[in-house]
Amino acid sequence: MKEEVREHLRRGIIPFWASLRDDVYGGFYGYMSFDGIVDEGAVKGCILNSRITWFFANAYLVFGEESLLSEARHGFEFMKECCLDKEYGGVFWSVKYDGTPEDTTKHTYNQAFAVYALSSYYDASKDEESIRIAQGLYELIEEKCRDAGGYLEGFDREFSPVENDKLSENGVIAQRTMNTLLHVFEAYTEFYRVTGKREVKERLEWMLDIFAEKMYNPELHRQEVFFDAEYHSLIDLHSYGHDIETAWLVDRGVEIIGNPAYAAKMTPITRDLTRKVYETAYNRHSLANECERGVVDTDRVWWVQAEAVVGFLNGYEKDASRTEYLEAAKDIWQYIKTYVIDARRDSEWYWLLDEDGVPYEDKPIVEPWKCPYHNGRMCMEVIRRNI
């Protein structure tokens, strides 16, 4: 499996995303249709470009090839010159094809992904400018995107609160979301890993308390997803992909923090999340999407499969008696090879498939949310883990 994944990363995912480099306006092209047609005039999502920058920085850390660092540097320059708001601070939601502002919404989730990318790029390049920018964004998130209870969601360009339509789904508008907290935690974990700043460690521990005490539902063995300001859940929803992703990202964060008290607090939770997803969502060699109000969405989403591979490998690594998790990870990789990877020339992974493995042709191959972050990271996690 490890050699197959390495080959797929080198021969498939890396060259695909390198081919989307825009050498005229910077960054990477923002849209490719299901039929493989690149729209060079499409909006460029800032999350997309942050994630691509993160991806190439980490690919360089895995393989050490200068061409990969060059791609990461290209992404960093675009982030710095176009995605950062030089007047009001923070990162735009999206820019036009030429790098001028398109959607000037400032979302906490988006700021976090920039911190994540810049931290990894600093690790790869040792470019001090990138970590200075990450430090500024960290301070901005703490000053403008948080209250006493946790992280807030959407803001206008000047950081006045707006309705959180960007990260609310399933018919609700949430004032807090598990998804945003997860990715702030992920970003701060990387930022702390490369800087060792005490205040970031303290903030990570604060977030772990929120996960454990506000978002984790011990009766239902899952995380709640959408909340009001007081952490009352707004909908009966079990997001399988987010729970298996949370399990391994929290374990990674706890490991990097190195506080035994939080290992003792969080390990039973991450093991419970992994077990519940395995028992509930893993069937037909893959993971279903989610369960809303007792109704399972049986579609297969590309990123959910990628996170399941990592999450089950992590579950086995943490408890070697759970050999079923290792077998599940290998089984899902076989499913990915058979159904999710698009075998057509110059393509990558399908976005969405039905329960029988048939791709939906109305879903593009690239757009602001479809990127090499989940599947590229899956490959690198498989390569890096000593299993």
What are the contacts of 349-353 at 24+ separation with CB within 8 A? 349/302, 349/375, 350/302, 351/301, 351/302, 352/299, 352/300, 352/301, 352/302, 353/299, 353/300
pLDDT class of 60 with cuts at 50, 70, 90: very high
**What is the pLDDT, as a whole number, of residue 96?**
98
DSSP string computed for 174-214: -SEEHHHHHHHHHHHHHHHHHH--HHHHHHHHHHHHHIIII
Using CA atoms, how far apart are residues 364 and 38, in angstroms rounded to an integer? 10
**What is the pLDDT, as a whole number, of residue 326?**
98
Half-sphere exposure of 344 (CA within 13 A, CB side): 12
Place of tokens 């399941």: 308
Average pLDDT value for residue range 336-344: 98
Provide φ and ψ at 106, rounded to 5°: -110, 115
* E-strand stretches of the chain: 44-45, 94-95, 101-103, 106-107, 146-147, 150-151, 154-155, 176-177, 216-217, 222-223, 226-227, 237-239, 282-283, 286-287, 290-292, 295-297, 300-301, 352-353
Residue 278 has pLDDT above 90, yes or no: yes
Domain encompassing residue 203: 2-384
| Beta pairing class for 282-283 and 237-239 | unpaired
DSSP string computed for 268-281: HHHHHHHHHHHHHH
Q: Which two tokens stand for residue 290?
A: 């989610």
pLDDT class of 387 with cuts at 50, 70, 90: confident
pLDDT in tens, 83-109: 999 999 999 999 999 999 999 999 999
Residue 386 has pLDDT above 90, yes or no: no
Residue among 208, 239, 234 nearest 223 (CA): 239
Task: Taking each helix axis as running N to C, give the angle between helix 302-318 and helix 373-384, from 0 to 180 degrees, rounded to the nearest 10.
Answer: 20
Q: Supply the pTM of this predicted model.
A: 0.98
Number of domains in the chain: 1
Residue percentage of the chain with pLDDT more than 90: 99
Q: Which two tokens stand for residue 348?
A: 């990558």
pLDDT in tens, 1-14: 999 999 999 999 99
Residue percentage of the chain with pLDDT more than 70: 100
Average pLDDT, the chain: 98
Residue 62 has pLDDT above 90, yes or no: yes
pLDDT in tens, 344-361: 999 999 999 999 999 999
CB 289 within 8 A of CB 304: yes
pLDDT in tens, 146-170: 999 999 999 999 999 999 999 999 9
Q: Which two tokens stand for residue 18?
A: 């390198």
What CATH number is given to the structural domain containing 115?
1.50.10.10
Using CA atoms, how far apart are residues 338 and 344, in angstroms rounded to an integer? 13
pLDDT in tens, 219-243: 999 999 999 999 999 999 999 999 9
CB 106 within 8 A of CB 164: no
43, amino acid identity: V
Average pLDDT value for residue range 185-196: 98
